[in-house]
């Protein structure tokens, strides 16, 4: 969906401090053996509304669970105090793909609140990883740029591509320690699944001083019409990463309409990304107030619904 032009006060205030983000947040030792990842829900759309008002695709749950973390749904309509409490309890945040009209609404307020909290935590030395996938990539970019009309139209839906790495990738936190085999797969094989109508162009990135100060671009790609877009980026001074492509789909989505690469090499490369994200979460020391509180927050309290016949993008979803 196309973002609206409505900006919230939260976004504007958060970006005033962008130029001051100078201190690198170094990862503490990975001592957390029970990491939990918060995953933000989105409003349902189309036929998904038959099951509830908000959802999380089960593939994102499986993505973090498969790398050794527990998943905690963060329902976007919770009161701000409960959002803050959940943030202080989980060890990382995953912003899924999907599509929501950003603007003066509760979803946008919750999204920006979580990003405000993550940025503030990292600036204070509280190492807190965030990853955005597809729409999550776009959300983070628009938040940092302070521009909800940042994106351009591209013909990049249902398109699987190899990554075109930039020089920054080799020394990045995201790919710097990747085995040569993984980098070779990502660079030479069509394993990254794109499913988006809007993209962040290199020109749009370069024109935003907020973006250039905050992010390093790690890869780009071109759509079916030869239009270039940024496909991977990471923050310079904190563990915030974003992929315009879907690392969860080769692992956990099976609709034959989508051109998802399920080869062993694709699976291996996507598992690497999950392991890297969850490994970062092991360096965060947030905890729930009690084991009982943690148990009540976990995704295990809810059951997924088989949704493949209703929507091509997701085989299973959780609803509220």
Is residue 262 flagged as an active site residue? no
CA dist., res. 293 & res. 43, Å (int)? 25
Give the strands of the sheet with 305-306, arranged side by side.
42-43, 54-57, 316-319, 305-306
Here the tokens at position 206 are: 């370069």
CA dist., res. 48 & res. 59, Å (int)? 16
| CA distances to 216, 294, 305 from 38, in Å | 25, 12, 20
Strand, helix or coil at 257? coil
Reported residue count of the chain is 320
Q: Are strands 192-199 and 152-161 parallel, antiparallel or unpaired?
A: antiparallel
On whether the CB atoms of residues 150 and 142 are closer than 8 A, the answer is yes
Tell the residue number behind the tokens 């351009």, with chain if given.
152
Q: Of the listed 134, 196, 286, 317, which one is catalytic?
A: 134
Q: What share of the chain is helix, strand, coil (3-state, %, to 5)?
A: 35, 20, 40
Is residue 246 flagged as an active site residue? yes
Q: Of the listed 131, 196, 246, 286, which one is catalytic?
A: 246
Helices (runs of H) and strands (runs of E) counted in the chain: 11, 14
Strand, helix or coil at 181? helix
The residues carrying an active-site annotation are: 134, 246
């Amino acid at each position: 969906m196309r973002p609206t032009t409505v900006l919230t006060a939260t976004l504007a205030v958060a970006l005033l401090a962008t130029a001051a983000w100078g201190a690198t947040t170094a990862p503490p030792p990975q001592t957390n053996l029970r990491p939990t990842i918060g995953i933000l829900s989105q409003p349902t759309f189309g036929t998904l509304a038959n099951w509830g008002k908000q959802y999380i695709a089960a593939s994102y749950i499986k993505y973090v669970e498969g790398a050794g973390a527990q998943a905690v749904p963060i329902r976007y309509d919770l009161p701000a105090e409960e959002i803050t409490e959940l943030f202080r309890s989980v060890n990382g945040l995953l912003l899924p793909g999907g599509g929501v009209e950003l603007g003066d609404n509760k979803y946008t307020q919750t999204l920006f609140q979580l990003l405000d909290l993550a940025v503030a935590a990292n600036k204070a030395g509280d190492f807190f990883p965030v990853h955005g996938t597809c729409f999550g990539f776009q959300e983070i970019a628009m938040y940092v740029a302070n521009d909800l009309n940042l994106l351009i139209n591209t013909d990049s839906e249902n398109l699987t591509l190899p990554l075109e790495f930039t020089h920054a990738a080799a020394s990045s936190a995201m790919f710097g320690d990747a085995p040569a085999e993984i980098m070779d797969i990502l660079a030479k094989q069509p394993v990254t699944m794109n499913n988006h109508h809007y993209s962040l162009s290199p020109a749009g990135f370069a024109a935003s001083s907020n973006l250039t100060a905050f992010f390093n671009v790690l890869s780009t790609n071109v759509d079916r019409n030869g239009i270039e877009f940024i496909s991977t980026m990471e923050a310079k001074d904190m563990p915030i990463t974003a992929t315009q492509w879907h690392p969860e789909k080769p692992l956990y989505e099976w609709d034959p309409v989508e051109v998802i690469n399920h080869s062993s090499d694709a699976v291996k490369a996507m598992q690497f990304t999950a392991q890297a994200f969850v490994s970062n979460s092991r360096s965060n020391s947030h905890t729930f107030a009690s084991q009982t509180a943690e148990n009540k927050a976990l995704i295990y309290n809810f059951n997924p619904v088989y949704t493949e016949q209703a929507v091509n993008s997701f085989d299973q979803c959780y609803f509220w």
